[in-house]
Amino acid sequence: MDPEEVEFLGEKQLVTIVPLTTDDDYLKLISGDFGPFRMGMPVKVPLWVAVQLKRQKHCKIQPPDWMEIETLEAIKNEEKLSRNFTKMPSKFYMVEAKQILGCASDDISRADEIRTIIKDIWDIRMSKLRSSIDLLVRNNGASAVVTNLTLMEINSIRPILPHTLDQIRRMKNFKPFHGWRSQDTSFVSDSRSSTSFHS
């Protein structure tokens, strides 16, 4: 899966925007109704809608609760101390961070610091992930629980982990694709098979 496709799935996450204009009509999308949009009144919309409206200067984006220095520092510390993966505040934290910080950094105080901490958290988790994968492969594992991994993280080890486990499995129960043995018997019992080519 391409990262853009993970992003695509993450873009339906709801975020809060503050409209800069008023429009009492609901936005009636196929994927749900959103609105009404009243100047200054926070309202939830899918991330991709928020980005469009922000680009057209129709709104400000309110960062999610967790997108804030102290919360993120706490998450980062916990991630560092814990042997396991901690549960992230959003299963699409990277997508949300990239999109919101990308188009609405003027709506967020200390956006650069936030970006750095999120990148730190990602890096800590990635290095943990690589060690766990290595262990799984060394133990010739046939399954693993990955409950607290987010989709972007899972996608970052695809296809290398699934493919490696596929190959380990093949090496354990190797069967060549050709059924060499069975072919032989039919041939011997019919020594003329090579003479019967003529249709």
By CB under 8 A, the residues from 36 to 75 that bind another protein are 48-49, 52-53, 55-56, 58
For residue 126, the surrounding DSSP H or E stretch is helix 111-138
Binding of another protein at residue 80 (CB under 8 A)?
no
Q: In the range 122-141, which residues lie near another protein by CB under 8 A?
A: 130, 133-134, 137-138, 140
Using CB under 8 A, which of 38, 98, 105, 107 touches another protein?
A: 98
Q: How many CB atoms lie within 10 A of CB 73?
A: 14
* Nearest distance, CB of residue 4 and another protein, angstroms: 5
192 binds another protein (CB under 8 A): yes
Q: Token digits for 83? A: 């042997």
Closer to another protein by Cβ: residue 55 or 110: 55
Q: Does 32 bind another protein (CB under 8 A)?
A: yes
Is there binding between residue 20 and another protein (CB under 8 A)?
no
Task: Mark the segment that binds another protein (CB under 8 A) among 60-68, 71-79, 106-114, 168-176.
Answer: 168-176
CB 92 within 8 A of CB 151: yes
Looking at the Cβ atoms of 77 and 163, the one nearer to another protein is: 163
Is residue 3 close enough to count as binding another protein by CB under 8 A?
yes
Measured in whole angstroms, the distance separating CA 65 from the mean position of its chain's CA atoms is: 20
Between 81 and 191, CB nearer to another protein: 191
Q: Calculate ∠ Cα 174-179-183, nearest 5°.
A: 155
For residue 51 the two structure tokens come to 């980005």
**Total number of residues that touch another protein (CB under 8 A):** 78
Q: What is the 3-state secondary structure (H, E, C) of 43-104?
A: EEEEHHHHHHHHHCCCEEEECCCCCCHHHHHHHHHHHHHCCCCCCCCCCCHHHHHHHHHHHC
Do residues 15 and 62 make contact, with C-beta atoms less than 8 angstroms apart? yes
For position 14 contacting another protein by CB under 8 A, the verdict is: no
Decide if residue 170 touches another protein (CB under 8 A).
Answer: yes
Total residues belonging to the chain? 199
Is 186 a residue that touches another protein (CB under 8 A)?
Answer: no
